[in-house]
Amino acid sequence: MKHVDYYGLGNSCKGRSMSRIRQKNQDLIIEVASEQFATHGYAATKMVDIAKAADIPKPNVFYYFSSKDKLYNAVLETVTQPLLEASKPIEELDDPVEALTQYIQTKLTISRDHPFASKVFANEVMSGGKVLPKEIGDELFNQSQMIIDKFSTWSAKGLMDNVPAHHLMFTIWAATQTYADFGWQICSVMKKEHLDEQDYEEAANFITQLVIKGCGVNS
């Protein structure tokens, strides 16, 4: 007797399976590309090297990412999107203590979860953002202006000392980003192969208290 798939469940399940495989392959390529770009830089990294490191055929890499530029942008997006979302507490919360606590925690989490992509982003910034897509650069600039304005507003309301808003933002960036950019040196000094959850928690608590107490932040 011929089986009739009245509800199209067979095609639906097959479609979901293919979608999962596609996503898995894309994630693998991006993960490997992040390490390659972070280690060798954009110019020196070749698609064939990424394919070898991922242990997949080169045509498969081009199937998912038709050019090195598109793959590089995908790598950048894995860290720039979380960075853009990280400032939501600054934008949405009126309590500077809670907002700064959440912001610093999230920034460190990004350094922990996306170490190679974070290095790629840092290298891109240090090279003058030559390959950074304009739309991402614009979003990051607007985010920076929002943070600076919010810090200035808190100072005007007496919720924080009258500190230079630009430099406070730069200081938070540096203190959190360093755990990705200088991860090897930090692990070497701490005599660890990798930092663990407690290390990141201690770092978040220390940086938060440094900012809150150093800048006279209050609720």
Chain segment 122-175, per-residue pLDDT in tens: 999 988 888 888 888 999 999 999 999 999 999 999 999 999 999 999 999 999
**Dihedral angle of Cα 182, 183, 189, 191, to the nearest 10 degrees:** -170
CA-based nearest residue to 140, from 85, 89, 195, 192:
85
Residue 5's pLDDT is 58
Residue 13's pLDDT is 54
* Residue 15, both tokens: 């479609």
Residue 151's pLDDT is 98
SS3 assignment, position 97: helix
- Report the C-alpha gap between 171 and 204 in whole angstroms: 14
Whole-structure pTM over 0.95, yes or no?
no
The single-letter code of the amino acid at 201 is E
Give the list of residues 6+ apart from residue 217 with CB closer than 8 angstroms, or none. 96, 97, 100, 154, 159, 160, 161, 211
CB 79 within 8 A of CB 120: yes
* CATH classification number, 9-214, choose in 1.10.10.10, 3.40.50.300, 1.10.357.10, 1.10.3720.10: 1.10.357.10
Residue 116 has a CB neighbour count (10 Å cut-off) of 22
Q: Which ranges of the chain have pLDDT less than 70?
A: 1-18
Q: What percent of the chain has pLDDT above 90?
A: 82
Q: What is the DSSP string of 17-78?
A: HHHHHHHHHHHHHHHHHHHHHHHH-TTT--HHHHHHHHTS-HHHHHHH-SSHHHHHHHHHHH
Residue 99's pLDDT is 98
Burial (CB count <10 Å: 0-12, 13-18, 19+), residue 50: buried
